[in-house]
Amino acid sequence: MNAAIREGLLRDNPARYVEVPSPRRPHALVWTAPRVQAWQQTGERPAVAVWTTQQTAAFLRFVARDRLSVMWWLIALRGLRRGEAAGLRWTDVDLDAEVAMIEQQRIANGHLITVGPPKTAASRRLVALDRHTVRLLREHRRRQRAEQRAAGEVWLDSGYVFTTEDGAPLHPDYLTRRFHRLVLDTGLPPVRLHDLRHGAASLAHCAGVDLKTVRAQLGHSSIVLTADTYTSVLTDLLAYAAEATARLVLAAAARNPGRRHRGNDRPTKSAGPGGVARPKRPATRQSGHRRGVKRRRPHTSHRRPTKIKAV
């Protein structure tokens, strides 16, 4: 509409009178025991939900023998998007330096797959890899080379980290369907594949990582988005905060068990009538070479009377 106004086709933009409701970002809820029980009874689930630390660990143990186990590990702990995981290449991974560079993603438009840059400029980022993840990636590369030898000439050397058994790159929708099947097999409360990204932020925040580092890990352009949408405070962090607060108060009470608190309404010794404290006379600054040395009075010809009538 504004372009049509600049071209002289319209005199006014009718869309500026439209009132659009402000969108609300979805807030992820944690699968606590009462929510799990309610889901088992009614089948209702939150729109966005994340697993607890124990539930995430149970899922990763269950998929340890899956071909894409290290990919689920990366998404659950490092917060990769599904397109970023599907588009990760071995040239972007440095196992000796323990880092992975997110340079591209695979986007699904129906059956059409396009390869392009990450979602935003901040999404092009460096992801640090822990030692356990590096060990899993090395094992995954050995299995992939064994599959290449078994496939022979049929093998497609695509260069991607996560491929099919013949080396072809993965379809992003396949990752969603595969993850949904694995969650059903585990019997855990349902979460989406993108919810693992929510859980990665919450787990990092629960482990003591500051929000600025979590923002860089997820590739967000604003820390507000990280704080409002992707960090659900887990029950472990709430329990730790409650215990730490109680220990602080109990330790202060143990240091002063018999000391009583004096009220502020009790008059002090320098208080005058009515409990109003008398103002102190401001201290005068002594001059001279050293403090405590009485300054000599200058010599004048006028003599001061010896007796002064008191006022």
75-130 tens-digit pLDDT: 999 989 999 999 999 999 999 999 999 999 999 988 889 999 988 888 889 899 99
Exposure on the CB side of residue 88, measured as CA atoms within 13 A: 24
pLDDT band at 311, cuts 50/70/90?
very low
The stretch 238-262 carries a mean pLDDT of 78
Residues 6+ apart with CB under 8 A from 17: none
pTM, rounded to two decimals: 0.69
Count of C-beta atoms within a 10 Å radius of residue 25: 11
Alpha carbon distance 260, 303 (integer Å): 59
pLDDT at 27: 75
- Which is higher by pLDDT, 190 or 23? 190
Q: What is the token pair recorded at 302?
A: 């006028």
Whether 286 shows a pLDDT value over 80: the answer reads no
Whether 297 shows a pLDDT value over 70: the answer reads no
Alpha carbon distance 69, 128 (integer Å): 18
Exposure string over 217-246, b if 16+ CB within 10 A, otherwise e: bbbbeeeeebeebbbbebebbeeeeeeeee
pLDDT at 202: 81
Residue type, 247: R
Whether 200 shows a pLDDT value over 50: the answer reads yes
Whether 275 shows a pLDDT value over 50: the answer reads no
Percent of the chain at pLDDT > 70 equals 77
The stretch 158-186 carries a mean pLDDT of 94
Exposure on the CB side of residue 220, measured as CA atoms within 13 A: 21
Lowest-pLDDT range of 29-38, 246-255, 287-296 = 287-296
The stretch 150-165 carries a mean pLDDT of 93
